[in-house]
Amino acid sequence: MPSIAKPLVGHPSLAKNAIGLTIRDYEGTMSTLCAGCGHDSITAAIIKALWELSTPPHRLAKMSGIGCSSKTPTYFVSGAHGFNSAHGRMPAIATGASAANRELTYVGVSGDGDSLSIGIGHLCHAIRRNLNMLYVLENNGVYGLTKGQFSASTDVGSKSKKGEANVMSPIDPIQLALSIGATFVARSFSGDKEQLIPILKAAIAHRGFALVDVISPCVTFNDHEGSTKSYKYSRGATHAATESDFVPPATEIVGSIGPVGSTSIRMHDGSVLNFTRVPDNYDVTDRAAAVKYLREHPGQIVTGVLFADEGVPDMHEMAGSPQTALVNVPFDKLCPGSAALERLMGSFR
Amino acid sequence: MHASDTSNPDYFHKVVDCQWACPAHTNVPEYIRLIAQGRFTDAYMLNRESNVFPAVLGRTCDRPCEPACRRSRLPSPSGEETPVAICRLKRVASDHKGDISERLPKAPAVKNGKRIACIGAGPSSLTVANDLMPHGYSITILERYDKPGGLMRTNIPSFRLPEQVLADEVNSILDMGVDIRYNTPATSMKAILDEGFDAIFVGSGAPRGKDLDLPGRNESDRIHIGIDWLGGLAFGHIDKIGEKVLIIGVGNTAMDCCRSSRRLGGKDVKVMARRPRAYFKASPWELEDAEEENIEIVINHAPKRFVIENGVLTGMEFERLEWDAEAKKSTVIDTVILPCDDVILAIGQDNAFPWIEHDLGIEFDKWGMPKVDQTTFECTRPGIFFGGDAAWGPKNIIWAVEHGHQAAISIDNHCQGVSVAERLGFGINLISQKMGLSEWSYHNDYNPASRQKMKHVDLVQRFEDLHVEVELGFTAEQTAREVQRCLNCDVQTVFKAAKCIECDACIDICPLSCLTITKDGPEDEMRLRLSAPATNITQELFASDPLPHTGRLMMKDEDLCVHCGLCAERCPTAAWDMQKSQLNINYAGQASTKLELTHA
């Protein structure tokens, strides 16, 4: 716990975004995580992404469950809404919140324990429903809050702090998500904000559920020799499959979008995800190609936007639910009375 | 970029802007912390080490430290941010200090047999005495008046510097047993040399006020030279002035002249300036203090002639000027006569050495100034040293003190047979301030308080007596607020590249966007691609050695760092640490001490 709150004085060159806020306006309270935690770095990336997107703080909902990762929504955008739910239940709570108010931007933060152990069922169904949210999985391969046991994402052979090697097969959240129809799948590393920030922005702009798996070293329990999720190992093992830029909707796209052979994806809100590099014979809109690529690079941390499909309807579109937040639906329409209920019940008889 | 060489004492010294700007390198942040702890005597003694006259300077210093203060470069929600009131806090230390007699330097019972003459009992000569007496030197000061202090006595009116305050600090030096000969103006360098001194220090100041040779100048005795007039006032020879007074010139001497005039009967006092306000020589706070006393400052008026009617000064004619944008070229609009009873000329001072014979090997330049070495303060004749305003023309007290320190080192070397050029540079010690997890030995939080305003004696009361000190000093509450404005710039961010794991924690937490991890490049190009552009090129850019994981560099722009220590708190490997830099300044005595050691 730092001795003081971050002083409010800021650099005179601090720029303002489209809604007149500086990046300092997107900060939260001081982090109580260990010094050097990868999660804090991801928090900083989320702050930068939301500031650059000019998301109004009061139009943002921060969702989380339990764990070190799930504490982090407190550390960004103090002016936003938030719900810290039961362990692993964040996707369920987010589904409910989104069902009631589809107008907010939903940012969920979870960890490998919260998402891949206790909450794996909820995660899978949120993916199936294509719930419109950014789901950040802060993946450190360890149960940090309970002092360093292996998690469901620990690689085979990766060593605990005491030197014991893991023997059980890990769950790769990316391959899991691809297999159950996820519409936006990306991976990055907390130590590479240059890559992470544009990915987060594209994920927020995505129509539907965007899973961003971020390798986030645990400095206290998983940053030693023999760990496959340490800062040192992650830096050496990351392999950027794709490189991309996020171009916001209002920006005029001038000149060449990128080198020949590159792809760009027009996002649902008019922004463009512009790939400056993708491997040969790789199509970011081809689910099978993404899985194949991952299988072809074992032992490497394959990063970048790995798959994106803007053509799948999200939860509200599938359900045909009202176009606005329920709070904006007139009461007599929202609750049409006993007579209407009788008519509805009659139609089932 | 080359990795920054932080083992060079200048690197961290420069980060402490106030200490770097102070000619005597006063350890400002440390004495402010001592005041914050209520250790006023310690704060005073720390000041005294480098600037010798804390009580005098706490009232009259030209304050080169304050415009340099990092605080004034920070953005402020209430408009312009202002520097820490460093000078006022120095006075706080002297106002509240306890008995210091035990802690003052003392002369040893056994002298070392070396005799030094100092010409003039001003700040530079007194500093020479202060530095050399404790090492066994015998000092003789030749003073032309019957009281010591030099310019501090003759040019600074007592409503700014009470006589007792000056006397206390001067006496703390003279009481070591300095042989001071009052009423002894230097009339012949040859005669002084004949007395057989081992070294001579000339600290006789710049005693000649500039005159204004205009028609009518010699036809009235109501036209005064500023510094002579202030001297007459200090010694009680002058006690009144006419109701209408014109001061010519707009430097700090002019401010002392106009404010003194108000106390001697001047009712309509005008300060006449040739150029617009932006080009005034007077310190802004001295201008404010004068204007508070209803003194009018008239710009763009160039003196043309004194108006004498029937042998009596009745006014002065001025040309009204119009300046170009940069106030370099002027055109005359018309002329105007302003009525007056007295005119005081405060347009500058000159050095004068009519008493130095020209066949002694002391060379002068074409302006009649002695040729003095910038480092050793020695003139072209070995064993004779110059300092203070006598060396290179009018500066101010704090410069005179520093000249005295440097000349004393040279004199010590000269007398002990060591080359005067052999001088120890600065040293620096770095001491970690870590007390525990997220715990520092200094108050690391940034305090948004604004600068405390000095309270003044009300206008009616202050004009009742020439000696009423105008500034009241800070109250306890004001002091408590002001000390917390200091950013503790001497608590340095010290980085060890080998420990860094590039987790970005320091970069994310830094409130002023000082830090960046990035690829190497040329400095001017890197300055533009840091977390925030580093546009103040007077401030250092710290570059680390290549980082172990990626070979990138840790960069820090020192410009706006508030030394909050959060980078070090959030660093998992202690690659960053907050370490107090303590500048080691060398004073006279190295040569004598070395000699004593070899004999022992």
What is the reported pLDDT for A256?
Answer: 43
Over the stretch B269-303, which tens digit does the pLDDT of each residue have?
A: 999 999 999 999 999 999 999 999 999 999 999 99
DSSP state of B64: T
Write the burial class of residue A4 (CB in 10 Å: 0-12 exposed, 13-18 middle, 19+ buried). Answer: middle
Q: Measuring CA to CA, which residue among A38, A296, A298 is closest to residue A155?
A: A298
Gap between the Cα atoms of A153 and A116, Å rounded: 7
DSSP state of A29: S
A253 pLDDT above the threshold of 70:
no
Q: Do B509 and A2 touch (CB under 8 A)?
A: yes
The mean pLDDT value for A250-257 works out to: 52
What is the reported pLDDT for A276?
Answer: 82
| Nearest CB neighbour to B503, from listed A1, A13, A38 | A38
The mean pLDDT value for A44-67 works out to: 98
Return the C-alpha torsion angle A304, A306, A310, A316, nearest 10: -90
Q: Which pair of tokens denotes residue B541?
A: 């850019």
In A206-265, the residues whose Cβ lies within 8 Å of chain B are: 217, 219, 223, 231-232, 235
Over the stretch A300-337, which tens digit does the pLDDT of each residue have?
A: 999 999 999 999 999 999 999 999 999 999 999 999 99
Give CA separation, B383 vs B116, B125, B352, B368, B379, in Å.
10, 15, 20, 20, 8
CA distance A319 to chain B (A): 41
| Nearest CB neighbour to B511, from listed A7, A44, A217 | A7
B22 pLDDT above the threshold of 80:
yes
Over the stretch B325-344, which tens digit does the pLDDT of each residue have?
A: 888 899 999 999 999 999 99
Q: Do B501 and A4 touch (CB under 8 A)?
A: no
- The answer as to whether B57 is a domain residue is no
Residue where a domain stops, chosen among B366, B387, B415: B415
| Nearest CB neighbour to B446, from listed A7, A41, A223 | A7
- Residue B523's contacts (CB-CB under 8 Å, 6 or more residues apart) are B1, B541
What is the reported pLDDT for A50?
Answer: 98
Residues B250, B342, single domain; the answer is yes
Per the listing, tokens 């500093």 go with B127
Q: Do B508 and A40 touch (CB under 8 A)?
A: yes
Contacting A with CB below 8 Å, chain B residues are 74-75, 438-440, 444-446, 448, 501-505, 507-509, 511-513, 532-533, 535, 549-550, 560, 562, 564-566, 569-573
pLDDT band at B432 (very low <50, low <70, confident <90, very high): very high
Q: Which residue of B has its CA nearest to A12?
A: B75
B593 pLDDT above the threshold of 80:
no
Residue span of the structural domain in which B152 resides: 104-207+351-415
Gap between the Cα atoms of B13 and A315, Å rounded: 62
* Number of domains observed in the structure of chain B: 2
- The CATH number assigned to the domain holding B277 equals 3.50.50.60
Q: Which pair of tokens denotes residue B388?
A: 């203070």
Q: Which residue of A has its CA nearest to B509?
A: A6
Residue where a domain stops, chosen among B415, B439, B467: B415
Residues B177, B227, single domain; the answer is no
What is the reported pLDDT for B76?
Answer: 82
DSSP state of A25: G
- The answer as to whether B572 is a domain residue is no
Residues B355, B344, single domain; the answer is no
What is the reported pLDDT for B598?
Answer: 64
Residues B117, B198, single domain; the answer is yes
Residues B341, B362, single domain; the answer is no
B365 pLDDT above the threshold of 50:
yes
CA distance B525 to chain A (A): 17
Residues B335, B216, single domain; the answer is yes
Gap between the Cα atoms of A326 and A313, Å rounded: 20
Q: Are B490 and B30 in contact (CB under 8 A)?
A: yes
Q: Which residue of B has its CA nearest to A224?
A: B501
CA distance B481 to chain A (A): 17
What is the reported pLDDT for A255?
Answer: 45
Q: Do B504 and A191 touch (CB under 8 A)?
A: yes
| Nearest CB neighbour to A3, from listed B444, B507, B513 | B444
Gap between the Cα atoms of A349 and A216, Å rounded: 55
| Mean pLDDT of chain B, nearest integer | 95
Over the stretch B447-482, which tens digit does the pLDDT of each residue have?
A: 999 999 999 999 989 998 889 999 999 999 999 999
Gap between the Cα atoms of B393 and B405, Å rounded: 18
What is the reported pLDDT for A258?
Answer: 44
Residues B345, B355, single domain; the answer is no
For domain A23-319, the question of CATH label 3.40.50.970 is answered with: yes
Residues B181, B293, single domain; the answer is no
Over the stretch B150-183, which tens digit does the pLDDT of each residue have?
A: 999 999 999 999 999 999 999 999 999 999 999 9
Give CA separation, B296 vs B158, B280, B321, in Å.
22, 14, 18
Return the C-alpha torsion angle A194, A196, A198, A200, nearest 10: -160
Q: Which pair of tokens denotes residue A210?
A: 């965007």
Chain Cα centroid distance, residue B437? 40
What is the reported pLDDT for A274?
Answer: 87
The 10 Å Cβ neighbour count of residue B334 is 7
- The answer as to whether B145 is a domain residue is yes
Spell out the alpha helix ranges (H) of B353-392.
389-392
- The answer as to whether B448 is a domain residue is no
Q: Measuring CA to CA, which residue among B122, B190, B109, B108 is closest to residue B154?
A: B122
Residues B323, B221, single domain; the answer is yes
A259 pLDDT above the threshold of 90:
no
Over the stretch B473-514, which tens digit does the pLDDT of each residue have?
A: 999 999 999 999 999 999 999 999 999 999 999 999 999 999
What radius of gyration, in Å, describes the C-alpha atoms of chain B?
27
Q: Which pair of tokens denotes residue A244?
A: 């991309």
Q: Which residue of A has its CA nearest to B448?
A: A9
Q: Do B562 and A7 touch (CB under 8 A)?
A: yes
- The answer as to whether B502 is a domain residue is no
What is the reported pLDDT for A149?
Answer: 96
Residues B141, B176, single domain; the answer is yes
Q: Are B362 and B380 in contact (CB under 8 A)?
A: yes
Gap between the Cα atoms of B164 and B591, Å rounded: 35
Q: Which residue of A has its CA nearest to B435?
A: A3
Residue where a domain stops, chosen among B366, B383, B415: B415
Q: Looking at the DSSP assignment, which residues form a beta bridge with residue A273?
A: A246, A265
CA distance B69 to chain A (A): 16
* Contacts with A223 from chain B: Cβ below 8 Å: 501, 572
Q: Are B270 and B296 in contact (CB under 8 A)?
A: yes
CA distance A23 to chain B (A): 11
pLDDT band at A257 (very low <50, low <70, confident <90, very high): very low
Q: Which residue of A has its CA nearest to B550?
A: A235
CA distance B550 to chain A (A): 8
Strand order in the sheet with B244-248: B223-225, B342-345, B244-248, B268-272, B296-298
CA distance B570 to chain A (A): 4
pLDDT band at B90 (very low <50, low <70, confident <90, very high): very high
Residues B245, B355, single domain; the answer is no
pLDDT band at B595 (very low <50, low <70, confident <90, very high): low
A252 pLDDT above the threshold of 70:
no
Q: Which helix (H) or strand (E) holds B414?
A: helix B397-415
Residues B108, B155, single domain; the answer is yes
Q: Do A235 and B572 touch (CB under 8 A)?
A: no
Strand order in the sheet with A243-247: A243-247, A272-277, A264-266
Q: Measuring CA to CA, which residue among A100, A101, A102, A120 is closest to residue A110?
A: A120
* Residue of B299 and A275 predicted with greater confidence: B299
Q: Do B564 and A4 touch (CB under 8 A)?
A: yes
A260 pLDDT above the threshold of 50:
no
| Mean pLDDT of chain A, nearest integer | 94
Q: Which helix (H) or strand (E) holds A137?
A: strand A133-139
DSSP state of B322: E
Q: Are A14 and A22 in contact (CB under 8 A)?
A: yes
Gap between the Cα atoms of B471 and B59, Å rounded: 8
Per the listing, tokens 């002297």 go with B94
Q: Which residue of A has its CA nearest to B80?
A: A12
